[in-house]
Homo-oligomer: A and B are copies of this chain.
Amino acid sequence: MDIRETFLKLDKQFTSYGGLDPRGITRLLYSEEWRQAVGALQDIFKENGLEVSSDAIGNVSGRLIGSEFPDETIMSGSHIDTVAEGGHLDGQFGILSALIATLYLKEKYGQPKRTLEVLSIAEEEGSRFPYTFWGVKNFFNLQNSDDVKDITDDEGIKFVDAMRDSGFDFRTDDKVRDDIKAFIEVHIEQGQILEKEEKQIGVVTGIVGQKRYTINLKGEANHAGTTPMGYRKDAVVAFTEIAQTLVQKAREIGDPLVVTFGSVKPVPGVVNVVPGEVEFSVDTRHIDEEELNAFAKTVESTINEVADKYGMTADINLWMEQSPGLMDESIVKMIEESAEKVVGDSYKVMPSGAGHDAQIFAGYMPTGMLFVPSIGGISHNVEEETDIDDLVNGIEVLAETLYKLAY
């Protein structure tokens, strides 16, 4: 079996479920394109002698049953959904890697001792409905059905109607599988670290923890001409002081700490009024929970100090808080050894700055993850791309690792 040719063929096929030209793949949860992809995957499983199964909400598996320990499962996969106008590798590459590695091992070594399972996770991106990790949450019975009952997509279609129209429904039991002994996810890096450091494989130590805030600073709106600088309570000026202070501190603390002010909305937001109010976002991430918590304290105290200094009020809303999801040390070691075998020393042990399904698995079983480089760090975009050699390397490193775990 030629891994490269197989990947190119399958990638072309799955990319057609949601299109690519001219603006990328759109394969949203429970859409027609999503159903095509899930159906095609099940067909491929069957054609290749994998045992097909699906849970209530649409997580789909293909299993190659083990000879000695059929009830011990080594699982690999990723999510089948995409963002709107996304690329052809995010999620899709993880599923195809798992499929190709499994078929490659089957062809080369025959039946494994432990069961190998390829998993297609129904949803991760939260692109159609405002709910993320629907797939993996259901996998571990973490979903809250009440949270999705009333949500709709942009066209007003209800989540539950879309789900039922696709032939799925809420799960009715609370069983969580205990047969899975390891989970490995392959993913594109979605960053520039591997490319800039000229590495072929990223061996992921964990998914960074993150905190997201919405801050509302209230000063005083005034006429931009008639209010001397000393009389102003300019919320934008206060924001710029906060941002400069925090960026400076983050740089001093160093990688992998990041802080981002992605959204800034002054009120009233016109050229000739001193902005009396500003709403801005803070997103901060670190792989070390203590470091993350310490920086979050700095974020909050800096905002309060600057607000006090200018006689403003600050409303600090921490609306998202996620602990780091650490990968299993022995699996990390195993992936590292596999990477060394495939690409020599051209790999990097690194945290993942983006969230992935693997972070949920990590709470339940030994979990590992590996990255392939993203050209220009671009993802969630039609321009998302990875060199074909790097993609093949990624599949080979996964196959090597699954071999160690299952044969």
Contact = CB atoms under 8 A, between A and B. Distances in A.
A40 interface: no
B234 A260 contact: yes
Which has the most chain B C-beta neighbours within 10 Å: A257, A270, A272, A355? A272
Contacts of A297: none
A251 interface: yes
Nearest to A272: B283
Interface string A236-252: 11011101100100110
Interface of A is mostly: mixed
A251 B310 CA distance: 14
A249 B161 CA distance: 59
Given A236-B261, A263-B266, A270-B262, A354 B225 contact: yes
A221 B164 CA distance: 37
A406 to B, nearest CB: 30
Contacts of A241: 240, 244
A405 to B, nearest CB: 27
Contacts of A78: none
Contacts of A237: 243-244, 247, 261
Contact of A355 (B225, B261, B270): B225
Interface in A274-315: 274-275, 278, 281, 283, 285
Contacts of A176: none
A257 B243 CA distance: 24
A229 to B, nearest CB: 6
Q: How large is the interface on A (under 10, 10 to 19, 20 to 34, 35 or more residues)?
A: 35 or more
A192 interface: yes
Contacts of A352: 225-226
Nearest to A189: B226
Nearest to A278: B264
A227 B192 contact: yes
Contact of A247 (B191, B214, B229, B353): B229
23 contacts: A189-B226, A191-B223, A191-B227, A192-B226, A192-B231, A193-B228, A212-B271, A223-B377, A226-B353, A228-B255, A228-B256, A229-B247, A229-B259, A230-B255, A231-B377, A236-B262, A237-B247, A260-B272, A262-B268, A262-B269, A262-B272, A263-B269, A263-B271
Interface of A: 189-193, 196, 208, 210, 212, 214, 222-231, 234, 236-237, 239-241, 243-244, 247, 250-251, 255-266, 268-275, 278, 281, 283, 285, 352-355, 377, 379-380
Closest 5 CB pairs between A and B? A191-B226, A225-B353, A226-B353, A240-B240, A224-B260
